[in-house]
Each structure stands twice: as structure tokens, then as C-alpha cells.
A = this chain, B = another copy of it.
Amino acid sequence: MKYPILRHSKYLAMCVVLLFSAFTSADLMVVKQRFETANFKTFNGETIKKVVVGWESYGKLNVKKDNVILVTHYFSANSHAAGKYAKEDQQPGYWDALIGPGKAIDTNKFYVISVDSLANLGVNDPNVITTGPASINPDTGKAYGLDFPVVTIRDFVEVQKLVLESLGITKLHAVIGASMGSMQAIDWAAAYPDWVPRMISVIGSAQSDAWATVLLERWAIPIRLDPNWRNGDYYTHTPPTEGLIAALMFITQDALTPKAFNQIGITKAVNHQALQTGPLHSIEGTYSIVSWLRERAETRAKLSDANHLLYLIRASQLFIAGHGETLAEGLKNIKAKSLFLPSANDLLLMPYLSHDANKQLVDLGKDSQLEELLGDSGHLNGILGISQKAQQIKDFIEH
């Protein structure tokens, strides 16, 4: 009792620590869960006898089950949107800055859920559970390869709906997704308007136009050229790793900007170095910027599958919100209020795509708005720079 202030300050310090830890990602621990369904009918009319996917959730589902925010993931991601599997994980989920207790998507209020896509790119990542061309075909006991049905963004939506329904959920509070996740988000709003009162499209698109279709095709080309690809039938052979690495290099560059690349710090050395060593003297000589990109791709390739990449490309190429004959038809059904957050310097899904979608919704009399993300990271501003719109996202979700 001699040092009440000190004693108080000790308590205060403890409270601060507790409070702080409640707000750090280290505290949001998550476990990958597993969902299984039989005889899944795909959008193109085929059947997948057994579908297994992983999913994650953050926060608690309330009694009314009306506090659900669905997060739909981007092309090379999975359902690990936030939190950590173990304290020692180097990185939390990709949108940990956005999702968590007290954050913009507040897990003290909302039950946030995300589901691994079909044909998920990271099929060889132990934290991914997916069904795709690398899965065993129950009819043959061998990997499907290209016998796996072509799947669409709509199929990803349908799998998510089955997961939600298995939890007794019949309506979302909101859906939010980045990039390929934005395709799922707007398709949700078009396909199941009564489920979706709020839709947020980050670095997104309402359909794949001719430009995007070809840009995506370019990721497929190196895989098809790799002699180890063997028309997708490589699961008992050497896989097409060189083609996969090339595709992942392309994806990384497409998602960034010249400024981001030129900040890596080896720009000025490019030509200088070339004069001293390889590139000037041999066509086989390599630039350090190319090596840097390749090393990142090599690491990612170890967890990825080439056929899965081809299936995600096709799902993205086939995308049109509502999956009907025209985009107008899909957008017409939307009841959600919409928020588009394109990145101003996005070179992959350029901002005109979001501006077009927003304008069409406004022209249809829908409640839709758009704000641009800034930063040097191009497409990746939607992941790395999402905090700049945390308040707008919070306001949009909570009102």
C-alpha cells in the first residue's frame, strides 16, 4: 500500500499488454478446418464425386447467425485471410491488417469466414485443402489431370454456399474479396442477391474482357510449352516445374509496377553489372533482377501445381458476374450496396474495370461507390496497401 501508483501502474501495464495483445495478429489464432461434399455439380454440368476444401473462421457466429462476413480469396491465396496457425508463424494471413479484434473487419462483432478455392494453386501447401486436377479421381484411383472438370468462379461460390449452409447460415452480412476474390464477391451478389446486402470488390473486375483473357492466357503458355507438362498428365512423372516457375514470374510482375521493381535496388546495377559479367558476353547470362524474380517463383512453385494454375486461369477467363449471357443481366439482379476499391496504378486488373462496373450499377439505380487505392504496388496495393481504406471498409460494413 506504500506505492499505490506503482501498483496501479503495474496493473495498468498488464492491462495495456493484455489490450495490446488482443489487437495483435499473434493473438488471433486460427485452425484450418475441412469441409466435404459428395456429387458436386459444376456450372458446366459435370459432377465431381468428392469435393474437399479447407476453410477458416475468425470471430464468433452469433445466435441469429446474421453476423457473417465472407472473404473470398485471390488467385494465388487460400482461405488464410488473417491470424496465425502458430505463434511462431512468420506471417499472418494476407489481410490480417484488416481482419481481427478491433480492426476494420472487427472479429469482436463479426464471424469472418473464408474457404479454399477448388483447384487451389497452393495444393502442395500443407495448410491448403482443395480438390482439383491434382486430386485422386475416385473412378481411376489416379490423379485427374485434365479429366477434372473445368470449374468457374460460380463453382467457387457454390462450394462456399455449401460450407455456409453446413453451419446453418442463410444470409451474409457482407462479402469482400480482392482480385479473383472480387470476382467471387460480385458473382455472389448477382447469383444470390437475397444473401448479399453488402459487397466490396477490391482490385476487381465484373467480367474478363479480351485484354484480361489474353493476359491470363500468357500465364498458361509457359506451362503448355514445358515438355514435362505432357497435356497435364505428369503426376507420376517429373512435373513441369520450369513452366510453372515462368508463370509465377509473370504473375509477380503483372501484380506490381515499374516503381516497385525499380525500388528493389538493383536497377542501376543492371547495365553496369552486365558490362562486367554475364549478360554482355553470353545470351545465357542473367540479370540480378531476373534472378530475384525467379528465386521468388521457385519458392512458390514448390507449393503449387501447374494444372491447378491452368484451372484458375480458365475460371478467371470465364468470369462474368452472374454467369449469364451478358453482364447487364448479372448486374441487374444485384441488391447489395457495393463498394469498389481499384488500385490507381494496377496493371493487371486496371482501374477502368472497376469504374465500368461501378458506373453500370449506378446507371441501374443501384447503391454503388468507388474509391481508388494509392501506392507503388500496383495490383498488390489491394493486399499490401489495404489499410489505407480500413476506415471506409469499416464504415461500409457497419452501416
- A contact residues, range: 35 or more
Which residues of B lie under 8 Å from residue A280 when comparing CB positions?
Answer: 43-44, 150, 152, 318
Residue of B nearest to A289 (CB): B210
Which residue of B43, B225, B267 is within 8 Å of A242 (Cβ)? B225
Closest 8 CB pairs of A and B: A211-B258, A225-B225, A210-B289, A271-B320, A211-B261, A210-B267, A210-B261, A227-B227
How far is A44 from B311 in the complex, measured between Cα atoms in Å? 45
Whether B261 contacts A214 by the Cβ 8 Å rule is yes
Whether A283 contacts B311 by the Cβ 8 Å rule is yes
Whether A213 contacts B347 by the Cβ 8 Å rule is no
Which chain A residues numbered 24 to 70 have a C-beta less than 8 Å away from chain B?
Answer: 43-44
Whether B282 contacts A214 by the Cβ 8 Å rule is no
Closest beta carbon of chain B to A294's beta carbon, Å: 9
Residue of B nearest to A313 (CB): B283
* A120 interface residue per 8 A CB criterion: no
Which residues of B lie under 8 Å from residue A262 when comparing CB positions?
Answer: 209-211
Whether A214 contacts B293 by the Cβ 8 Å rule is yes
* A266 interface residue per 8 A CB criterion: yes
* A11 interface residue per 8 A CB criterion: no
* A208 interface residue per 8 A CB criterion: yes
Which residues of B lie under 8 Å from residue A279 when comparing CB positions?
Answer: 150, 314, 317-318
Which residues of B lie under 8 Å from residue A319 when comparing CB positions?
Answer: 271
Whether A253 contacts B215 by the Cβ 8 Å rule is yes
Which residues of B lie under 8 Å from residue A317 when comparing CB positions?
Answer: 270, 274, 279, 287
Which chain A residues numbered 196 to 239 have a C-beta less than 8 Å away from chain B?
Answer: 207-215, 217-218, 221-222, 225-227, 231-232
Whether A289 contacts B214 by the Cβ 8 Å rule is yes
* A19 interface residue per 8 A CB criterion: no
Known contacts A215-B253, A283-B314; A258 and B221 CB within 8 A of each other: no
* A178 interface residue per 8 A CB criterion: no
Task: Find the residue from A214, A243, A314, A347 having the highest chain B CB count within 10 A.
Answer: A214
Task: Find the residue from A213, A217, A242, A272 having the highest chain B CB count within 10 A.
Answer: A213
Per-position 1/0 for A232-255, Cβ under 8 A of B: 100000000011001001100100
Known contacts A267-B210, A282-B150, A283-B311; A250 and B350 CB within 8 A of each other: no
Whether A283 contacts B242 by the Cβ 8 Å rule is no
Per-position 1/0 for A254-297, Cβ under 8 A of B: 00011001101011101110110001111111010110010000
Whether A218 contacts B250 by the Cβ 8 Å rule is yes
* A159 interface residue per 8 A CB criterion: no
* A23 interface residue per 8 A CB criterion: no
Which residues of B lie under 8 Å from residue A264 when comparing CB positions?
Answer: 210
Known contacts A209-B262, A279-B150; A290 and B214 CB within 8 A of each other: yes
Whether B281 contacts A213 by the Cβ 8 Å rule is no
Which chain A residues numbered 304 to 321 have a C-beta less than 8 Å away from chain B?
Answer: 307, 310-311, 314, 317-320
How far is A211 from B264 in the complex, measured between Cα atoms in Å? 10
Per-position 1/0 for A158-194, Cβ under 8 A of B: 0000000000000000000000000000000000000
* A146 interface residue per 8 A CB criterion: yes
Which residues of B lie under 8 Å from residue A139 when comparing CB positions?
Answer: none
- Can you list 21 residue pairs at the A/B interface with Cβ under 8 Å? A43-B280, A44-B280, A150-B280, A152-B280, A207-B271, A208-B271, A210-B261, A210-B264, A210-B266, A211-B257, A214-B261, A215-B253, A217-B290, A222-B222, A225-B225, A231-B284, A232-B283, A272-B325, A275-B325, A280-B318, A347-B347
